[in-house]
Chains A and B, each alone.
Chain A
Amino acid sequence: MKNKKQNFLLLLIIAGIYVSTISVAADPTLESFSIDPEKPAPLSDITVTADIGGEGITAVVVHIKECNKAQGVCFSQQSGTMTESETEEFQAQFTLKEDKADYIQYYFDITINGDEVRLLDDSWTIDLLVDSNNNTSNGDNGTPGFELIILIIAIGVGFILFRKKRLR
């Protein structure tokens, strides 16, 4: 009787360990993320390195979105398959494409034990090194209109003609 109880308990423990192992494997986590250079400039080359926790990871794809905070826009997205380094971290290289971007946002698609899992968090962003004078113009604001240019030309011509007349 005692043996049966012990065996049952042992079975429970083994089952518990097995289930928890599966749970860990099914939920990859982003242990750390770094970017080189630490604060890249728009249009620069970057290397992203991610330490992804989890057993049974066979593929990691990183997606990088280039966005502008003030404008509240994301311009484009790039995706890259990450390669595993000797330190078991995953790396990928990109060339940033958007000159008006001031931050990048990243997320991952991870293939783990045959299933695809998306790792995504709104807080996963990296600020880019931008020139503080690099303000984006919003369409027509700040540039002289066609009407104003015509008026200036008309006033100029009128002034020249008036002066010519006065000099005679």
Chain B
Amino acid sequence: MIIRSIDKKPILVVTILSLFLLSGCLDSSVEIKGEDFTFITLDGEEKHLSDFYGKIIVLDLMGVNCGPCFNQMFELKSVSENYSSDDVTIISIDVWITYGETSELLQSYLEYFNQELGIDLDWIFGVDDTEGSIQNKYATSGVPTLYILNKNGKIKYTNVGYEEYSTLASEIDKLLS
């Protein structure tokens, strides 16, 4: 009996430790590959998300008539200014096409930033289709919704709502290191 109690103790300790260690291996934040999608740029070109793999992608799902999305542009501009386009691609997609927004409206939005505010939003802009294919996959919780994807197209960061440059930069730096 004494022998049995001695045997059980280490087994018990090992079991508890194993469970604890194993649970650490079961990462609750499952790595998701960004599902590919098609969008039309303001130049009228058809592009796919996968066309931009090979660089870190900051994906901004937005709406023109969305106040927080407007504020988000300033933070994305900071990203654009502080990171090389060789390393980071920013893509802003208007997913409020389902609410009647158009590529013409988006174009006038960029012109407003350029002409009235003196800010050149010098990254890729595009629009969702009228069925909201991208909105239904990537922006179901509202806009802006931001994703940062690594060079392999895997989603490494998500945020619903306005996000400050400092947080975006921190996430990008992790992927660049």
Residues on A lying within 8 angstroms of B by beta carbon are 63, 65, 67-68, 71-77, 79, 98, 105, 107, 120, 122, 138-140, 145-147, 150-151, 153-155, 157-158, 161-162, 165
Contacts and interface: CB of A to CB of B under 8 A. Distances in A.
Contacts of B19: 150-151, 153-154
A148 B66 CA distance: 39
7 contacts: A67-B142, A71-B161, A75-B141, A150-B19, A151-B23, A157-B15, A161-B8
A154 B15 contact: yes
Given A65-B65, A73-B160, A74-B69, 15 more contacts: A67-B142, A68-B161, A71-B142, A71-B160, A71-B161, A72-B144, A73-B141, A74-B143, A77-B96, A105-B67, A120-B65, A146-B23, A150-B22, A151-B19, A158-B16
B67 A147 contact: no
Contacts of A158: 12-13, 15-16
A147 B16 contact: no
Interface string B59-75: 00001011111111000
Contact of B67 (A63, A79, A122, A153): A122
B117 interface: no
B161 A161 contact: no
Interface stretch (B24-32, B46-54, B168-176): B24-32
B67 A67 contact: yes
B136 to A, nearest CB: 13
Q: Closest 10 CB pairs between A and B?
A: A72-B162, A150-B23, A73-B161, A71-B161, A75-B142, A154-B19, A72-B68, A73-B142, A72-B161, A147-B23
B118 interface: no
Interface of B: 5, 8, 12-13, 15-16, 19-20, 22-24, 26, 28-29, 63, 65-72, 96, 99-100, 141-145, 158, 160-163
A66 to B, nearest CB: 9
Contacts of A76: 99, 142
Given A73-B144, A74-B142, A77-B96, A165 B67 contact: no
B92 to A, nearest CB: 15
